[in-house]
Amino acid sequence: MRTAVTGGAGFIGSTLVDRLRKDGHQVLVIDDLSRGRVDNLDAALATADVDLEVLDIRDDKIGPLFETFAPEVVFHLAAQIDVRNSVADPINDADANILGTVKIGSAAIAAQARKIVFMSSGGSIYGSPEHLPVSEHAPVNPLSPYACSKISAENYLNCFRQLHGLDCSHIAPANVYGPRQDPHGEAGVVAIFAREMLSGGNTFLFGDGGNTRDYVFVEDVVTALIAASGTAGSGQRFNIGTGVETSDRELHALLAHATGVAAEPTWMPARLGDVRRSALDAALARTELGWTPLTSLSEGIARTVDFFRKLDTTSSDTAPSSDTAPSTLV
């Protein structure tokens, strides 16, 4: 199958590209490298099956590029991913995430692609829901421009599906973690703790350390993206998470165990804007996509720590990939 992956040089995107390539697909990566890294694609680009086009998703060249490559499926992961940045600069966020999606969707329609699989954000679009784990039936309640832009992009793609027959599904993950996550970003606490513990730095816990998150391993998210590229789940959003809440304190202890570092965290006041509890109900993905998370948190953390440990010994560059590239947070 011919596939295009926007944001394919980022943390999630490049993991997706690796899987698509191993499954025998042709991949066109579109990434402006604002956050993504070519290093993430080193193995993929060494093959004849993967090409990288360094381009902003809003560039007019996207149309002709898609017409020439003729992807059957477009995985759209490129986005402005910083929630705080979306609050400070909602116009930039809307420009990248809404207009960028309209551009990618229009190019996919013109190139007669079959489907677009969109990276939404299960962690942000429901706000602070009453019941956890939250299902897709819960009302959306965007508390940031970022969440607004993700919901808006879903709506545009659903509209294009009805207007033009370009099929779509939306993958809405919880807190994604794993190798290649950017430890220098605003979010991504697993990568942040791993890097700090391995390099002898400080780790911080905010408030009482009792915030909870649903941590889902990047390989499991990639499995969901690929499962959604078939005919199932037409026009639907799929929450992708484990349904399990892990507190910041518990996460810190798991990372300390995996790195073998016993350092105590530095306690800081609670951060304004931090959600208290978060977990996603992925029942729809289980029934419709046959998806289930295969990686336990302890195994995923061990693999992530292993990645950062090797990076330390093989490179002086301590800044591996970013979240989903040009910019995703989920």
Ligand X SMILES: C[C@H]1O[C@H](OP(=O)(O)OP(=O)(O)OC[C@H]2O[C@@H](n3cnc4c(=O)[nH]c(N)nc43)[C@H](O)[C@@H]2O)[C@@H](O)[C@@H](O)C1=O
Measured from the CB atom, the residue of 3 and 124 that comes closer to ligand X is 124
CB of 262 to ligand X, least distance (A): 17
Cβ proximity to ligand X: between 28 and 134 the closer is: 134
- Strand locations in the chain, DSSP E? 2-6, 26-31, 50-54, 73-76, 115-119, 167-173, 175-177, 204-206, 212-213, 215-217, 237-240, 246-247, 266-268
- Chain Cα centroid distance, residue 39: 18
- The b/e string for 83-109 (b: 16+ C-beta within 10 A; e otherwise) is bebbeeeeeebbebbbebbbbbbbbbb
Work out which of 23, 42, 208, 274 binds ligand X, going by CB under 6 A.
Answer: 274
Query: For ligand X, what does the binding mask look like between residues 1 and 40, x meaning CB under 6 A?
Result: ----------------------------------------
Q: How far is C-alpha 284 from the chain's CA centre?
A: 19
Helix axes 248-259 and 189-198, enclosed angle (nearest 10): 40
Identity of the residue, 101 or 121, whose beta carbon is nearer to ligand X in the bound complex: 121
Q: How far is Cα 76 from Cα 97, in angstroms, rounded to an integer?
A: 10
Task: Determine if 180 is a binding residue for ligand X (CB under 6 A).
Answer: no
What residues numbered 195-224 form the site for ligand X, per CB under 6 A?
204-206, 211, 213
Rounded Cα distance between 201 and 98, Å, is 38
Binding segment (CB under 6 A) for ligand X, from list 35-43, 93-101, 153-161, 184-192: 184-192
Residue 119 makes contact with ligand X by CB under 6 A: no
Q: Which is nearer to ligand X, 107 or 192 (CB)?
A: 192
Select from 1-9, 13-21, 102-110, 116-124 the region that touches ligand X (CB under 6 A).
Answer: 116-124
Closer by beta carbon to ligand X, 136 or else 167: 136
Contact 117, 76 (CB under 8 A): yes
**DSSP assignment string, 4-28:** EEETTTSHHHHHHHHHHHHTT-EEE
The whole-angstrom separation of Cα 261 and Cα 276 is 27
Q: Choose, by CB under 6 A, the member of 80, 101, 175, 304 that binds ligand X.
A: 175
According to the binding rule CB under 6 A, does residue 187 interact with ligand X?
yes
Give Cα 117 distance to the centre of its chain.
Answer: 12
**124 near ligand X, judged by CB under 6 A:** yes
| Tokens coding 20 | 């698509």
Which stretch in 87-95, 183-191, 282-290, 304-312 sits in contact with ligand X by CB under 6 A?
A: 183-191
Which residue number, 100 or 122, has a Cβ lying nearer to ligand X? 122
Site residues for ligand X, window 50-89 (CB under 6 A)? 83
170 binds ligand X (CB under 6 A): no
Pairing of strands 246-247, 212-213: antiparallel
Respond yes or no: is residue 177 known to be catalytic: no
Give me the catalytic one of 126, 146, 156, 215. Answer: 146
Rounded Cα distance, 245 and 193, in Å: 18
Residues with active-site annotation = 146
- Would you tell me which residues interact with ligand X (CB under 6 A)? 83, 121, 123-124, 175, 187-189, 192, 204-206, 211, 213, 248, 271, 274, 329-330
